[in-house]
Structure 1
Amino acid sequence: MSEGNFIGGQAYEPLRRLLSDSKIQAMQAEIRIKSSIKETNWSEETVHLDELDVSDIKSKVLIAIDGDYSKSIIENGYPGAEIGYITVSTVAILLNKVRELEKEEFIDPKKFRETEKTSSIDSLFVGCNVVLQGEQSATSSMRKILYKELYKCHIFKDSESLLDTYHTLLRERPKGGRAPKCPYDECEADYEFSEGEYLCKSCGGKLYSTDALRLHELLNNSGTSGEMYGQIKETFKKLQLIHILRTFEQHPKYFSLLREMVFFMEGPLAVFSTASWLARPIRKELERVNDKVRAEFGADLIILGIERTGNFVKHFMDIDTKKDGTDNNFPNQSAFLLTNSYIKEHIVYNENPHFVYLNDTSFGRKFFYKTKGGYRVVSSVATFSNYQSNTDTAFPAQFPRLSDVLVLLDKLVSSRYENSITPLAAAHAEAAIPLNLGKSVFEDIARQIKEQSNAS
């Protein structure tokens, strides 16, 4: 090995050749460089909490949904044989009990933990070189597992399953576009959308309604399938949100509790990758349930996504930093409501006049908020109408129950959880080390909240 190729010695030769290559220099000359962030008086550009009318609705329960996954190599005689362990956890925090404890001089940690109720969906999925008995391949095995996992999950004993919830969304899938192919390699026919288990009319292979998510296409037959496990986790999280809403709606004695619930989800309110078509049916179902809640109780639902990392988090940090490198350029208790034009100009560069950021994959609107304590939050709030979803403008009325949302964020964001909130931290901890696998607690939660509502 020559001295020039020795990393610990002089410059690493291949890297030096790359950086000095004339092609790289020529490309650098053509790349558009964003000008430095201009000085902005953010007090004039933001909405301050004091400017908004805060409602008299007191939220009684916070529902936080998060997930995690891990991979493991197994011994079955084939190289790289892998399985993925996926957990989606839902944590309910009973705010009435929290408020009672806050009146005490010393809060008993055991009593405080009792304010949190947790439930987890845990699933094992096969990856490379793992085939179930009776199946032809790892892909067919994974498809079967996905269908069965949705079938067995439900939050009330007598409620619809997660698969039933998925079928509701499947019926509203966007029509048109290029149809996916039958998942069997030897079949060239288009996939036939239907519900349940059925046979392909062309090749006779077994199909599942969940094949429409196309998550099996992400399985890597020659390596790790981390992307697939991650997208399964994200899909389960979104389905779980709609499943909870529909289940409470379908039980008349608990329906009124939706007015008093706040839903949090880690990450943006959007669906990506092969299952991205779910976003529009989710948007439509949220609008339907919200219309019913609003007609009955005169208030919208609150559904929030909280982003811990990414370009939006980085940009918020940038605009909150002064030229001398210090923070606090952005005023406390103020929200900056993002438009599509601002996102295109400053965060996701695109000069196409017809480009709308996450137009087909999101079901919420993004905003920045600096809390009373000076902590930054990048959040999305679910929208329930075309007016609210129109990102050409950003008025407070387009962000459902914005004042209530900001008050909640002031209370829930702390230095312990950077760019996150207490309920999601609890949900993530439960997903990482699940303590309540397969345990359904929602009927108990609903009963407790109902009893407290009747007593108050």
Structure 2
Amino acid sequence: MPYVNESGNHERADRLNHRGLIVDPAVTAALKGMNLPDRAMARDRIQDDIGALRTSRLDLPLVGRATSRAVAVDGSPAEVEVLPDFPAARVGYLQVAVAHVDLNRMLAPPADRFVDPREIGRAAVGYVLKSVIPTSVINYRDGQDQPAAIRQAVDTIFRASRMGDSEDDLASLTDVLLHVWPGTPDAPAAFLEVRKCPSCGCEGPHRVGSAAISCPSCREPIYPTDVLQLHLEVAPEGSNLTVLGRLMNVVEVLVFLWFIRCFAQGSEYQHTAFILDGPLSVHGAAADLKRGAERFLQAVHETATRRGWKSPPILGLQKTGVLVDHAHQLASLDLLPPGTLVELPDGYLRRWVVPGPASAYGKDTDFGRRFLYRTQDGRVHVFAVPRLSGGTVTDDRLAVNRNAYPTLRTTVDLLDTVGTRLYEDAVIPVALAHNYASLPVGIGSEVLRTHAQVTLGIRPTALPPQPPRWPHR
């Protein structure tokens, strides 16, 4: 790691320091031992594979109703230092937002030549869940280690945050967890099973309801949220932005599932699209949640089917990553004409996108099968939809059974409808959710740091020195 001088500039490397790597025979031999794909052959084979896997939007069966509303979920984390004389002391802020968009009002043609911004404002309503946790050095009592402090903070967040519009729908995140992990959309489980005590490691399972229990061995609290195992990823020194990101992922999924459940209580459910910013997946130590999420969505679909309702678009929209880069490459090679959907069995993913063994792609993380779609106006999307007919998305690792994904046509029709030119490959509901959730870098981080310092009784620190800015010529 380089040093930093008084002006805030990093120590510069010697301009010839790379020479040793270039002339080292071991480095050269290691490079020669690496395998490269035959690019010409790969292009031809990819073209053949895409030709077999793609279909026109119009060839998909239309099983659903016109979408008049959309609910989008997005989150944003930030971590700031709060003690100038103790630089490792940090707190993390987290926002998860839900944007409820009236698509009929949003997309209605203007009464005259210009769009009325007041109408656009009335078409979207935002709900934001806000929280803060100690991520490094800071805790709740003397002698408490960082995993225990983060566990306590997560339990507090899950018990305090309440969601829903009507009295029947109000729920804390702990309530939602009890519905999703072992329960059903209609009935929460009585308890969650924590395999080991996070404090002393004594074997369970420890049955924890909506409130914490005391470990029978060490008498330390065991929280219902310990089932997520986020404490296993806590770094004992330095930043814990990774854990904050894992927590955001879990909260996003739980909020997403709960709003689907709330809307499924009424017939408007079948006219409402539900969009999660990111793939339908849970990563890290909490990945077991994905199995509960898959069962939860299938149970909602089964109930809607018994009522004679059609399931609406439910999707995760992936904006970055190697699969998104691959989709753009296909579009640049004219392999994705507008209005084209490409299904992605695991053989294709393992051969051309994420090389690896024949094991099912995303089997431990994904509760949605991923597809590529190019809209009528040329936008390229990677999205995931749940397998609603039962089973799991890994059942389609050899060939994708489109009948198991009855919302495909309404999903791609939605993507054709709600695009925006504000950002590359963007859709309006997700852009609005991000607008509600996003935490600005730069001055935004400084404001959050000052807020934490003032609240903790610390004298706010001045902005760090900035490198000089030269005028543009």
Indicate which of 147, 151, 169 corresponds to 1:143: 151
Asked if 1:416 corresponds to 2:422, the answer is: yes
Query: Using a 3 Å threshold, how does the CA distance of structure 1 residues 110 and 393 change in structure 2: closer, same or farther?
Result: same
Query: Using a 3 Å threshold, how does the CA distance of structure 1 residues 421 and 116 change in structure 2: closer, same or farther?
Result: same
Partner-residue secondary structure (3-state), 2:415:
helix
- Which residue of structure 1 aligns with residue 238 of structure 2? 223
User: Paired residues, what number?
Assistant: 411
Query: Using a 3 Å threshold, how does the CA distance of structure 1 residues 102 and 364 change in structure 2: closer, same or farther?
Result: farther
- Which residue of structure 1 aligns with residue 32 of structure 2? 29
**Cα distance, 1:132 vs. partner?**
1.4
Runs of 5+ in structure 1 lacking a partner?
Answer: 323-327, 435-456
Asked if 1:202 corresponds to 2:207, the answer is: no
Asked if 1:357 corresponds to 2:361, the answer is: yes
Q: Distance in 1 between matches of 2:31 and 2:404?
A: 40
- Which residue of structure 1 aligns with residue 322 of structure 2? 311
One-letter amino acid of the counterpart of residue 38, structure 1: R
**Cα distance, 1:101 vs. partner?**
5.0
Partner-residue secondary structure (3-state), 1:428:
helix
Asked if 1:261 corresponds to 2:266, the answer is: no
- Which residue of structure 1 aligns with residue 372 of structure 2? 368
Query: Using a 3 Å threshold, how does the CA distance of structure 1 residues 429 and 131 change in structure 2: closer, same or farther?
Result: same
**Cα distance, 1:370 vs. partner?**
0.8
Indicate which of 102, 120, 134 corresponds to 1:94: 102
CA contact (8 A) 1:189 1:202 kept: no
- Which residue of structure 2 aligns with residue 443 of structure 1? none
**Cα distance, 1:263 vs. partner?**
0.7
One-letter amino acid of the counterpart of residue 275, structure 2: F
Q: TM-score if structure 2 supplies the norm length? A: 0.80
- Which residue of structure 1 aligns with residue 464 of structure 2? none
One-letter amino acid of the counterpart of residue 333, structure 1: G
One-letter amino acid of the counterpart of residue 106, structure 1: F
**Cα distance, 1:212 vs. partner?**
1.3
Q: Distance in 1 between matches of 2:27 and 2:51?
A: 42
Partner-residue secondary structure (3-state), 2:332:
coil
Indicate which of 376, 381, 386 corresponds to 2:385: 381
Asked if 1:340 corresponds to 2:343, the answer is: no
**Cα distance, 1:247 vs. partner?**
3.1
One-letter amino acid of the counterpart of residue 239, structure 2: T
Runs of 5+ in structure 2 lacking a partner?
Answer: 1-10, 185-192, 441-473
Partner-residue secondary structure (3-state), 2:73:
strand
- Which residue of structure 2 aligns with residue 155 of structure 1? 163
One-letter amino acid of the counterpart of residue 90, structure 1: V
Q: Distance in 2 between matches of 1:151 and 1:22?
A: 59
Asked if 1:430 corresponds to 2:452, the answer is: no
Query: Using a 3 Å threshold, how does the CA distance of structure 1 residues 43 and 189 change in structure 2: closer, same or farther?
Result: closer
CA contact (8 A) 2:250 2:282 kept: yes
Q: Distance in 2 between matches of 1:53 and 1:275?
A: 36
Query: Using a 3 Å threshold, how does the CA distance of structure 1 residues 280 and 55 change in structure 2: closer, same or farther?
Result: closer
CA contact (8 A) 1:47 1:334 kept: yes
Q: Distance in 1 between matches of 2:84 and 2:218?
A: 30
Q: Distance in 1 between matches of 2:12 and 2:379?
A: 45
**Cα distance, 1:245 vs. partner?**
2.4
**Cα distance, 1:134 vs. partner?**
7.1
- Which residue of structure 1 aligns with residue 206 of structure 2? 192
Q: Distance in 2 between matches of 1:21 and 1:282?
A: 51
Identical columns (%): 22
CA contact (8 A) 1:258 1:301 kept: yes
CA displacement 1:418-451 (0-9 Å, x = unmatched): 23322111111111159xxxxxxxxxxxxxxxxx
CA contact (8 A) 2:338 2:378 kept: yes
- Which residue of structure 2 aligns with residue 81 of structure 1? 89
- Which residue of structure 1 aligns with residue 132 of structure 2? 124
1:250-329 map, 5 Å:
254-322=265-333, 328-329=334-335
CA contact (8 A) 1:66 1:424 kept: yes
CA displacement 1:387-411 (0-9 Å, x = unmatched): 6732221243233321111111112
**Cα distance, 1:53 vs. partner?**
3.8
Partner-residue secondary structure (3-state), 2:287:
helix
Query: Using a 3 Å threshold, how does the CA distance of structure 1 residues 44 and 342 change in structure 2: closer, same or farther?
Result: closer
Where has structure 1 moved over 6 Å in runs of 4 or more?
none
One-letter amino acid of the counterpart of residue 361, structure 2: Y
Q: Distance in 2 between matches of 1:214 and 1:62?
A: 32
